[in-house]
Amino acid sequence: MSSENTNLEHAGEHETMSKSRIWKVFFILLAITVVEFIIALAIPDTVLPHGIKNFLYVALTLVKAYYIVAFFMHLKFEKYALIVGILVSFIFIIYFIILMLTEGDYMNSHMNI
Q: What does the pLDDT look like over 64-85, one tens digit per residue?
A: 988 888 887 776 767 777 777 7
pLDDT top residue among 14 and 71: 71
Supply φ then ψ for residue 78, to 5 degrees: -85, 175
State yes or no: pLDDT of 57 exceeds 80.
Answer: yes
User: What pLDDT, in 10s, does the model give residues 104-113?
Assistant: 888 888 886 5
pLDDT top residue among 88 and 31: 31
61 & 96 share domain = no
Q: How many domains would you assign to the chain?
A: 2
State yes or no: pLDDT of 58 exceeds 70.
Answer: yes
37 & 68 share domain = yes
The least confident of 11-25, 59-73, 97-111 is 11-25
94 & 73 share domain = no
pLDDT top residue among 51 and 64: 64
97 & 110 share domain = yes
65 & 109 share domain = no
45 & 65 share domain = yes
60 & 93 share domain = no
pTM recorded for the entire structure: 0.59
27 & 70 share domain = yes
100 & 56 share domain = no
In a domain, 37, yes or no: yes
In a domain, 4, yes or no: no
